Amino acid sequence: SVVRQMGGCRSPPHPQYLLEPLHTTVHTQRGATATLPCVLRALPRNYRVKWSKVEPANYRENIIIITNGLYHKNYGLLSERVHLRHSHRYDASLTITNVALEDEGRYRCQLVNGLEDESISLTLHLEGVVFPYQPSNGRYKFNYHEAKRACEQQDSRLATYQQLYKAWTEGLDWCNAGWILDGTVHYPIINSREPCGGRFLLPGVRSYGIRDKQKDKFDAFCFTSALQGQVYFIRGHLNFKEAGQACRNQGAAIAKVGQLYSAWKFSQLDRCDGGWLADGSVRYPITTPRQHCGGLPDPGVRSFGFPSKELRTYGTYCFEGK
């Protein structure tokens, strides 16, 4: 039959050179060293391995490193912190040192050998915490670029959708919509209620979709990870200027919002005392909820908002880097 004849003409399948990794997600924290696995079964002639990172904001692939097994060349912003592991001659795994917040995301290891290119995708996942953020002049004041800058100023970055979704599964319940990294706008709801889309909508991460990055104004959802240093509290009745000076007197800096969230998440910082932070807000971190510390049943970073900077009511949270 025709089918049999055609079947007899099939060329043998092209050999797969890249091993499928056991795990396609690598978990790490800021400041750590992480390795993304990419191992060859055999070495084809005249091959190259190209590592790149897929950026969620524009879906472009940024080349990180290219090797032919003998020589390699590094590219882009990551070039100072990456190298090939090379634990044996078939190993083209990528090692990233001093992992930064912006390293989170999807990476591609591509084998280019002139015949049939192969690639595997891996995800670098940072353990961390997502927090909603708005400026001192109220809600819905940020366009996308302002939201991105505001998170960076608070030792964090705009969260990805995956980070926001994970935070929702862990209890983040927030009625104000905020920008995330890919330029879309969302808000996570656990307890459905009238001001947040209605009582009869199911819980979930509600979406406003893609918005105009210049014109539309929302809050921000920021993400931060482990600290390279520590946050501590100085007791006192200090105004904002005195709070900053008190930290500097000890060789530290007044803590940023992201640093306080990180200390709460990773170092279990638990204090009932409101303290000034670098953006002029007053907050305090609670890991063991109790009645006289705000009365709320869940752990979290509580906020007194942005009081007058002249008030001498609060202490201060300081950050000392390693």
Q: What is the pLDDT of residues 128-152, one digit of tens each?
A: 999 999 999 999 999 999 999 999 9
- What pLDDT does residue 113 have? 82
Q: What is the mean pLDDT of the chain?
A: 92
The tens digit of pLDDT for each residue in 279-288 reads: 999 999 999 9
Q: How confident is the model at residue 294 (pLDDT cuts 50, 70, 90)?
A: confident
Asked whether the predicted pLDDT for residue 10 surpasses 70, the reply is no
H/E segment holding residue 54: strand 48-54
How is residue 260 written in tokens? 């306080």
Domains of the chain in start order, with CATH, are: 18-126 (2.60.40.10), 128-224 (3.10.100.10), 227-321 (3.10.100.10)
Lowest average pLDDT, out of 179-183, 198-202, 240-244, goes to 198-202
- What pLDDT does residue 52 have? 96
For residues 54-60, average pLDDT: 73
Residue pair 178/205 in contact (Cβ under 8 Å)? The answer is: no
* DSSP E strands, 190-311: 204-210, 219-225, 229-238, 253-254, 275-276, 282-286, 300-303
The tens digit of pLDDT for each residue in 158-183 reads: 999 999 999 999 999 999 999 999 99
- Give the list of residues 6+ apart from residue 108 with CB closer than 8 angstroms, or none: 51, 52, 53, 54, 61, 119, 120, 121, 122
- What pLDDT does residue 15 have? 53
Q: How confident is the model at residue 245 (pLDDT cuts 50, 70, 90)?
A: very high
Higher-confidence position of 12 and 80: 80
- What pLDDT does residue 167 have? 96
